[in-house]
Structure 1
């Protein structure tokens, strides 16, 4: 019997050994690495599991993992929050590299929506989530510029001037001034121009009242929420990103005449007007001739051999004030002033971050250098930024942290868009004027019939040592406590400290017709301070099918500042080392200063979000603000909002629609406010000054006693502007998340708009008294926002991955009321010399609508003039205006609205593709249906407008009896209201455009190579921005800036130009 048991035991052991050996023969150890598909960064904490089993592991800090699988053909399932789940068939492989795709558009993403956050599927307001990877694909000093075309409902106008921000409008215009959105950075009011774009972790745009009204009186123009990067648990990670490139100015104004053609045009104008053919520079007779010298001593139009041109006769530049001793040789070939003042300009950015942490603490340290030269010579912007973000878990339920940015910047500015800028002077200065006179000093417009344009090259060289400096500190400290399971209390205190210093020197401009007779130096300092203290309590709980989140809190904000400036005249030496306020002359010194009246805001707010059964959604928000900017009568305002949503795809009757992943219908209504007026608007102010408030007490005019007059009339009854918004839309996700569509219609109406009415004569208020802001006007905006995102893989997970996004934005703005008895007001803007204004803001029209005479053709003959309505200065070849009211006479009553700078719609098209280690990015931005006033044509198309450069059209395509179908009116020496003397539609052009904003090609080195050097990521790329622009506009750039009630005029706009870059992304 024992022998039988022994045999049985031996047989059982043998079977077990055989089974074990077979099992171990099938098992296999797999190693690999998990990275993000876009940034190629290792993913720490991703779960790697064997499909159909309980075997799983997690990736380490470098993204690596090791796992033992039951058999060589197992399937790995990799999951991580914020990324799409991926399955990898092993097919016998022992090492795998896995790229996880960011699911930033998926329903479970958590989105910051103002004092709280929600899963995207539960949001019922209008919130646009901006992909920060797309933002950073545009090399720029700030995120305002990068935001263009990235979010539906957001209109951005950019330029290429170093350090400049952009004009950002969310769903049109809500006011006559101050239409910039509120920007909140880590819970503190800030600016997109002040933050380093590389520090941005996430960005959301709150567009309707349901999402933004929690910010109350500051939210009427929308809210942009920015969260900066934080450290994550794991070993230290170092990232270094850099790019280096250059901006290319292009050819500038290519349609300008050379000096001989300028002379021919002068003769044409004289012939057309029947004037003698004589000119101080071009001589007399049937054909003009070019002089050898445009100025020699006091004589103009001098030919070679004339004794006046003998330099031995003069002590050159002895008299800089009168310029009597200048000899300036004519540049007969012509000076290309645009080329003289522009250059290929380098731009570079270096950014390094160190981050990491443990379960108790997390940290991020960053440093950034941005350095951009402008295409205009000596124009630059340079900024250093340092960031420290930390967070500590004091206990399991207690967290404290801080976010801090310190920055220092310096720049030398150049004009942006007005007739006095260097770009404008490049078409105002005559081509016959050289850059230098024969003595090597600057030449200019001094001399007969050369106009009074400045030498733009001299302007830039003389200003090269002018500086503007800024030093700022921005950030906050916070603490959070979780208690009673469902409650979280949070307090945050932070603010801004900003200090500006600037100085500039004014030279004698002896070479110009209108010269500065003396030198001066100006230096100033101003500072700004603000603090924000926010306290909030959050309750979050789930009761069966009911999900509830309630947030309540209070917020206090205060801001103040001060400015002081000094000026001194009579500097005897121009050397930069002597430019200080104590080095000038004793006379002519001035000092000025201005206090910034402190402004304070105190608020209480509440927000409740509710979801039932994961498909019926509702949200309610209310905020009460009290502002010191208003008088005691209307200091407080209440701003409510509510929204509802229905995830109809969760209904049982929708379950058979397999291609529909999610469909949510939503709608909202609410009110927001605007308090952007002067802090002291409610108070009357008094000032004194000679000729206005001084009194001749003794009656002998020899002594006066200072008095005061009313300089600003206060309005104690001023109150909030109120913006009421209705929003209806849907969010659809199709084909398992491959397609996303977000469409919204909105209506936004603003009442009680703050507007400055002309002062009615009252006791103590004189003509120089500034009127207050009063609540009188109304306007509305309606529009459509659309976003479509499509993702696909061609050839499976190892094939080509494509991601395409379309954003579409449209708004229609209309002024519905200005004031009782007031239907319009005009604005001058950048075009002030046309004999009137191009802008009329009137009831029934949009802000900044173009207004003037409608040109319907050119008069062709005296008979044509006689048969047409009477018109001042009508003659053959001149403009023929529309008789809008049909009374047979062209008067100011016939002026009409003929254009609109607001686009019909804007759009962005973003395409990303990747294949293995290569990635390609393409981005287009366009605006359609926008008009631009090309004010440059007033200067260049008419001889009498200005004695500066002229266009080829003025000579070769202007009206003569032989050219009845000419583009340009007849050329004459005298101006009038029928040519260049009145605002009219001749200057308006179609400003629609489509621009390739970005093209980039990158290559990431394989991990198998990088691992040898302990490098996690190395990506090299080349990039081009603004490669081409498709437009009918004839100016330098169809994107034109301007004020809210006076934009859309190109007076010499700083243009957007081509840029080329190389770059590196490194991580270890």
Structure 2
């Protein structure tokens, strides 16, 4: 980036101070590699700002509403000139203007007003309130339209609310803000959450499409949330069909900040937060554990292990493993930017640094980014670009060990690290682990962090460059070229040592992974907007081409050298004879013809038709072309002459239907060539007397050239209303989405010789339907202003087809998972397991629990053991007795946001709630399963004298047939109500008075304190009921889900 200064032109300062000569040109961008240099030229644009300033003098004034209320933050611009100002907290302004100039005053929610400068020194300008809801401009993909002209289901995101939250990504900040959008917590530093719009339409993927400034790209943790100007969520076919095969999971459109008309403005913000886990497992200390373990082994008739017995008489270790592993983390977020512009263009340059020191030892995430958004105008031509460069890095332990799973179960009588453990083979670091004398199979997470280190870094560019040419006053052409490119590196270094009892020693090794990803977009569009009398017709037609390529390489080597205490961790420094390398490549292209037509008659009757024809190289020759479309209509009832309801300002009824596609589902299964077969030529077999290995081959994947897009047929009925002179906005949506041609594994006969005897086919169907609502109330009169927003959603998910799974088979199971099932008529991935029916209270109950044939069903049980339902009546308890015992899908979810201001104070409160679903608490299964782990302090085991309890008798699972066969099984015993309500954010701010800021030449300044995830109201016993789960088909499965952290932050925002 270079700036050129010359003396020919002058740019006035904000308040009429010294004018500095300035004109500049952004003439090159940063190139990541020679190979990408031609592609990077797509993001180059030229910006020239020139201004001529006539004789001026200070003009002062006050801006207020028609109710007499002062309006702080209103924009005052001298028409046709690069001179602007903002009103202070008292609604006052000062600007440089000459007699004959015209002042243009604008304020959100009010009609702009022009006032001529007549020579007076002071002016009072009164603005009239407008219908905020109906006149709001909404971005719907390739177009921007007024909300009152919409016929589809779109939802704007209140940036004031989303920006108040400390979040790794834009998606994470959406939780509770938009009806129909489900955001499940990611938690870990830099990790993205799971986002679903109106349920799940696929067994493979639920990720929505993200469009950033017109570029289809990933909105992950590499994007700075402070750069976002607006977000729109497109939920139905009318809004999203123009994205065709990529839109069935919904679309999120992100627009980043741009420069505003006026002199250069410098903004700065800083935020520091202290982060902690708000809840911990209440597990036993050493004394409690030793007493419980003594009873545990005695009840099962087993001798106490010698190490535990020794600790009973001389306890010297009392380790709080959660305290050792968890830590107080922090977040730091710094942003600085400069922006400005005039009639010939605008610019914004911002830089940011975000750091998250995680709440677990050895978990960190850093992001540095630079954004450059510029635009230049000359006559009918507009040229611009939006670009962000980011570098992210972090570290985390490898080894596949989950700290939140291991910490509560590790025994308190084992130290974290001690010389006494160095006698354990392959444990030179003396890490505390289980032994034959103190048996436990829990992992020492701190040993993992020290012995198996991982770090990563990602370099990324996302941007687009565009050219707009206004052909006529109603027709314009746009050329849009975009690039997303990332260069990723990850490294794992394994040192000498073990971290678990009976853990096989691993050779030291280093593994390095490198990947390159490019995503290029080229689009030509024509936008038109023509009004003839009471008729308006507008829309867009165009062509879009996108190609994506990913290359991955991996290499590793064992036998790291340690010389003088220094371990060398490059692949070439390894001495081991074992080395390996692998690589993959993925490439595909999508091209499409798109269009949307909007027709309006007298702003009363509205019709929209949109569609797209896509071609995708990933599909077989039979189905490379897909057609996607929608039709919608709206009726603004409030415009009818017969409608005379004074308290209803605007009322609109709308309906839509269309077909959308999911193309990435296929890519997730088979990469770039999912329709092709694959023969594995690597197997070897030994034959003959000499036992020589002979090469072989088998059909690993059977070709299926008929694979095609998954489709979602979407129906929506909506109602929009503005009430009480636009104080209240109400939106109600009813939707019914049927997903067809859903990809699923279909069984094949073994005679075909395939590895797993199945083939991927478009065979299943899923339905999601429900109701959404949002209500917003605004009170803008008087010194105390406030607004309240409430939204809610119901989602009913049902599997309605699974293809030909076999005779009498109407369900789909997850490979190697026995406790969930997707069955026709039930919710996807419903809990399917043994049903616990209380505890046996005595031996007679056990003896009398028989099937119709008189067989005792649980003969190994003892009084105090769990009783299970013998569902099939065969006299034994096994997987054939599984039943549906609950759903991981909530019956209702919603959020509430409250904003208030009084003079210079401001308040933001956000609440989120999810209700009516079941979570499988796998950590409680481990703790309460009576293994060689620690115990919860509030466990209440059954005894002959303590029968009023739900906890079974205490014993050791190893060697006690009653406990191992009855009390540890996957069953409804571990299902819990996951309903919760959470104070998502609470922020209190104070804007410093102008009289104080003037002395420091600061335009505005605000300080604030905020608390995030302050309180969670729930009956769930785990750390956090907001469970991300393990993939789409294991939602609600808590096996150490990273909990949402409580963050107390302090921040400052300034503008100069």
* TM-score tier after normalising by the smaller chain length: 0.7 to 0.9
1:880 counterpart residue number: 867
* Per-residue deviation, 1:521: 1.3
Name which of structure 1's ranges 917-926 and 58-67 shifts more when overlaid on structure 2. 58-67
2:333 counterpart residue number: 349
Query: How many angstroms apart in 1 are the aligned matches of 2:131 and 2:819?
Result: 45
Query: How many angstroms apart in 1 are the aligned matches of 2:827 and 2:405?
Result: 28
| Correspondence for 2:717 among 711, 728, 748 | 728
2:412 counterpart residue number: 431
2:243 counterpart residue number: 215
| Correspondence for 1:45 among 51, 74, 77 | 77
Aligned positions of 1:593-632 closer than 5 A = 593-596=583-586, 598-632=587-621
Query: How many angstroms apart in 2 are the aligned matches of 1:576 and 1:514?
Result: 28
Q: How many pairs are equivalent?
A: 955
8 A Cα contact 2:790 2:896, kept in partner: yes
Aligned positions of 1:271-420 closer than 5 A = 271-273=298-300, 275-283=301-309, 290=312, 292=314, 331-332=316-317, 334-393=318-377, 395-413=378-396, 420=401
State the secondary structure of the residue aligned to 1:124: coil
Query: How many angstroms apart in 2 are the aligned matches of 1:953 and 1:926?
Result: 27
Query: How many angstroms apart in 2 are the aligned matches of 1:165 and 1:1032?
Result: 26
State the secondary structure of the residue aligned to 1:653: coil
* Per-residue deviation, 1:732: 0.4
Q: Please report the RMSD computed on the Cα atoms of aligned residues, expressed in angstroms.
A: 3.1
Name which of structure 1's ranges 217-226 and 861-870 shifts more when overlaid on structure 2. 861-870
The answer as to 2:170 corresponding to 1:184 is: no
Change (3 A) 1:985 1:494: same
* Per-residue deviation, 1:269: 3.0
Query: How many angstroms apart in 2 are the aligned matches of 1:97 and 1:1025?
Result: 41
The answer as to 2:843 corresponding to 1:819 is: no
The superposition leaves residues 630-667 of structure 1 with CA deviations (integer Å, 9 ceiling, x where unpaired) of: 1011111111101000000011111x311110000001
Query: How many angstroms apart in 1 are the aligned matches of 2:234 and 2:658?
Result: 13
1:299 counterpart residue number: none
The superposition leaves residues 489-510 of structure 1 with CA deviations (integer Å, 9 ceiling, x where unpaired) of: 1111112111110111112224
Query: How many angstroms apart in 2 are the aligned matches of 1:513 and 1:528?
Result: 41
| Correspondence for 2:106 among 70, 75, 80 | 80
State the secondary structure of the residue aligned to 1:864: helix
Query: How many angstroms apart in 2 are the aligned matches of 1:967 and 1:126?
Result: 47
The answer as to 2:542 corresponding to 1:553 is: yes
Change (3 A) 1:989 1:96: farther
The superposition leaves residues 958-1014 of structure 1 with CA deviations (integer Å, 9 ceiling, x where unpaired) of: 111111112211223225565334221110111111111111111111223323433
* Per-residue deviation, 1:885: 5.3
8 A Cα contact 1:33 1:65, kept in partner: no
8 A Cα contact 1:935 1:987, kept in partner: yes
| Correspondence for 1:1001 among 988, 994, 999 | 988
Aligned positions of 1:952-967 closer than 5 A = 952-954=937-939, 957-967=940-950
Query: How many angstroms apart in 2 are the aligned matches of 1:839 and 1:1024?
Result: 37
State the secondary structure of the residue aligned to 1:937: helix
* Per-residue deviation, 1:96: 8.9
1:789 counterpart residue number: 776
8 A Cα contact 1:938 1:980, kept in partner: no
Change (3 A) 1:880 1:594: same
The answer as to 2:857 corresponding to 1:871 is: yes
Query: How many angstroms apart in 2 are the aligned matches of 1:1007 and 1:98?
Result: 20
8 A Cα contact 2:488 2:514, kept in partner: yes
1:115 counterpart residue number: 142
The answer as to 2:675 corresponding to 1:682 is: yes
Query: How many angstroms apart in 2 are the aligned matches of 1:877 and 1:228?
Result: 62
The superposition leaves residues 886-907 of structure 1 with CA deviations (integer Å, 9 ceiling, x where unpaired) of: 6776554432111111111111
Query: How many angstroms apart in 2 are the aligned matches of 1:443 and 1:951?
Result: 21
* Per-residue deviation, 1:451: 1.5
Query: How many angstroms apart in 1 are the aligned matches of 2:321 and 2:125?
Result: 56
| Correspondence for 1:862 among 819, 827, 843 | 843
1:23 counterpart residue number: none
1:474 counterpart residue number: 462
8 A Cα contact 1:610 1:618, kept in partner: yes
* Per-residue deviation, 1:761: 2.8
1:422 counterpart residue number: 403
8 A Cα contact 2:63 2:127, kept in partner: no
Query: How many angstroms apart in 1 are the aligned matches of 2:286 and 2:582?
Result: 46
Change (3 A) 1:419 1:558: closer
Change (3 A) 1:145 1:867: same
2:7 counterpart residue number: none
The answer as to 2:475 corresponding to 1:500 is: no
* Per-residue deviation, 1:99: 12
TM-score (norm 2): 0.86
The answer as to 2:243 corresponding to 1:257 is: no
8 A Cα contact 1:478 1:490, kept in partner: yes
Name which of structure 1's ranges 578-587 and 113-122 shifts more when overlaid on structure 2. 578-587
State the secondary structure of the residue aligned to 1:80: strand
TM-score (norm 1): 0.85
2:497 counterpart residue number: 509
2:297 counterpart residue number: 270
The superposition leaves residues 733-770 of structure 1 with CA deviations (integer Å, 9 ceiling, x where unpaired) of: 0111110000101000001111122443354x43257x
The answer as to 2:1044 corresponding to 1:1051 is: no
Query: How many angstroms apart in 1 are the aligned matches of 2:697 and 2:639?
Result: 72
8 A Cα contact 1:57 1:65, kept in partner: no
8 A Cα contact 2:611 2:629, kept in partner: yes
1:31 counterpart residue number: 61
State the secondary structure of the residue aligned to 1:466: strand
Change (3 A) 1:1059 1:501: same
**Which structure: larger Rg?**
1
Query: How many angstroms apart in 2 are the aligned matches of 1:504 and 1:607?
Result: 50
Query: How many angstroms apart in 2 are the aligned matches of 1:496 and 1:978?
Result: 54
* Per-residue deviation, 1:103: 7.7
8 A Cα contact 1:939 1:950, kept in partner: no
8 A Cα contact 1:104 1:131, kept in partner: no
2:576 counterpart residue number: 586
| Structure 1 portions without partners, runs of 5+ | 1-27, 48-55, 69-75, 293-329
The superposition leaves residues 316-335 of structure 1 with CA deviations (integer Å, 9 ceiling, x where unpaired) of: xxxxxxxxxxxxxx644x21
* Per-residue deviation, 1:65: 4.4
8 A Cα contact 1:1018 1:1067, kept in partner: yes
The superposition leaves residues 568-626 of structure 1 with CA deviations (integer Å, 9 ceiling, x where unpaired) of: 11224296661111122231222222222x11111111110011011101100111111
Query: How many angstroms apart in 2 are the aligned matches of 1:542 and 1:371?
Result: 51
* Per-residue deviation, 1:942: 2.2
Change (3 A) 1:509 1:648: same
| Structure 2 portions without partners, runs of 5+ | 1-57, 88-92, 115-119, 421-428, 851-855
8 A Cα contact 1:942 1:950, kept in partner: no
2:916 counterpart residue number: 929
* Per-residue deviation, 1:266: 3.1
Change (3 A) 1:419 1:508: closer
